[in-house]
Amino acid sequence: MQELLPALEVEEINVVEQVARGEELEITSTPVIRLLQDGTEKFRASETPTINQLLTAIAGSSD
């Protein structure tokens, strides 16, 4: 996705090493993909979504 949308900001969190950050984001299993817009979660997948699912979520969150 980063190649398709270079402006997309990506944060990778290793919940084993960053336990507090995982708890803060209520991540209870991995992998988790979260799409935020202006700090508000618009999409969350507990398994890696397909590119089409992620593009649909991005398009749906764009106003």
Taking 3-state DSSP, the helix, strand and coil percentages for the chain, each rounded to the nearest 5, stand at 25, 15, 55
Q: What is the model's pLDDT at position 32?
A: 85
Q: How far is CA 45 from its chain centroid? A: 7
- 27: number of CA atoms within 13 Å, CB side? 23
pTM of the model: 0.65
**Over the stretch 15-60, which tens digit does the pLDDT of each residue have?**
888 999 989 999 888 888 888 888 888 888 888 888 888 888 888 8
What pLDDT is recorded for position 63?
Answer: 58
Summarize the confidence of residues 6-13 as an average pLDDT: 78
Q: How far apart are CA 5 and CA 20, in angstroms?
A: 29
